[in-house]
């Protein structure tokens, strides 16, 4: 996507995400865990919607303040917009989604998310050996990683020698950078956001319990909340830096 096609007026969503995160940390320190979880989720939702607006996945807001768009759907839609993203998305989104859904307990889901985010934070550029094309490097990488969709690998095999595809794949090969890592982490955390919002916001009339009764210091989310705060702040800092640099490039 060229810079001239991007609307950089959505920076307020990143600012809102930072405000939510700051508030979540304060509430966590005061051991008001249910509201801390709620505001953390809202922070991730805001930053995901920033990406959705930036990529034009979410339609223009037309001044609306409330954007009803499921965070993880932003990434599903993003990865379905062209052939390259479909290949990347099949590997990064669908495989992840299927694996996450295979876990039944919340503890297992959160541990899986932590492992995936930790892996993403240590990603490196896909290496290309001497005399190896970018397409060959991607195919080698996918096979080494146990990529299951052989139809996509077959598609890449057929595109060997296609200069246009080779150029695009070479750009794809080098996209592992701060913003790429940040997008992955946002995608993973978007699955943590959706669902169970009610138990952080409302009391349960049937049991006369408040949202605070659903979360304690030993709750699986609460125990890992500080770690998730750290990752979210790192992502927000990366996106803020990216936004400022791209907005500057657009202005010159």
Q: pLDDT tens for residues 133-143?
A: 888 887 887 77
- Looking at residue 22, its pLDDT comes to 97
144-153 residue pLDDT tens = 766 555 556 7
Number of other CB atoms surrounding residue 3 within 10 Å = 10
Helices (H), the chain: 11-29, 33-54, 71-78, 83-89, 95-101, 106-121, 134-144, 150-158, 163-173, 178-193, 198-201, 220-251
- Looking at residue 147, its pLDDT comes to 55
- Looking at residue 79, its pLDDT comes to 66
160-206 residue pLDDT tens = 888 888 887 777 666 555 677 788 888 889 888 765 566 787 888 88
Q: Domain residue spans in the chain?
A: 3-124+176-251
Cα radius of gyration (the chain): 20
Query: For the residues 47-64, what does the mean pLDDT come to?
Result: 74
- Looking at residue 145, its pLDDT comes to 60
- Looking at residue 197, its pLDDT comes to 64
Among 46-50, 90-94, 161-165, the range scoring the smallest mean pLDDT is 90-94
- Looking at residue 77, its pLDDT comes to 75
- Average pLDDT over the chain reads 78
Output the CA–CA distances (angstroms, integers) from residue 216 to 26, 27, 35, 43, in the order listed. Answer: 16, 13, 12, 21
- Looking at residue 91, its pLDDT comes to 55
State the pLDDT confidence band at 1, using cuts at 50, 70 and 90.
very low
Q: Is the pTM of this model over 0.85?
A: no
Between 82 and 122, the more confident residue is 122
Query: For the residues 217-246, what does the mean pLDDT come to?
Result: 87
Q: Is the distance from CB of 191 to CB of 13 less than 8 angstroms?
A: no
- Looking at residue 134, its pLDDT comes to 85
State the pLDDT confidence band at 7, using cuts at 50, 70 and 90.
low
């Amino acid at each position: 996507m060229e810079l001239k096609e991007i609307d950089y007026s959505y920076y307020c969503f990143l600012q809102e995400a930072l405000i939510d995160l700051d508030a979540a940390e304060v509430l966590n320190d005061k051991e008001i865990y249910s509201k801390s979880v709620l505001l953390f989720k809202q922070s991730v939702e805001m930053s995901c919607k920033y990406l959705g607006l930036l990529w034009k996945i979410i339609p223009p807001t037309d001044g609306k303040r409330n954007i009803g768009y499921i965070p993880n759907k932003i990434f599903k839609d993003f990865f379905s917009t062209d052939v390259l993203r479909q290949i990347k998305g099949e590997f990064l989104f669908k495989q992840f989604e299927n694996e996450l859904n295979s876990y039944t307990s919340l503890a297992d889901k959160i541990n899986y998310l932590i492992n995936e985010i930790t892996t993403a934070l240590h990603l490196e550029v896909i290496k290309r050996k001497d005399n190896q094309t970018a397409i060959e490097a991607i195919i080698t990488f996918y096979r080494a990683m146990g990529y299951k969709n052989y139809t996509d690998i077959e598609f890449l095999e057929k595109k060997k020698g296609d200069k246009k595809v080779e150029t695009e794949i070479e750009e794809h090969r080098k996209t592992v950078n701060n913003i790429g890592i940040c997008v992955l982490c946002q995608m993973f955390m978007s699955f943590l956001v959706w669902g169970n919002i009610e138990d952080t916001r409302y009391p349960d009339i049937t049991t006369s319990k408040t949202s605070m009764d659903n979360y304690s210091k030993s709750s699986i989310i609460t125990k890992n909340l500080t770690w998730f705060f750290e990752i979210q702040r790192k992502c927000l800092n990366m996106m803020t830096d990216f936004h400022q640099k791209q907005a500057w490039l657009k202005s010159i």
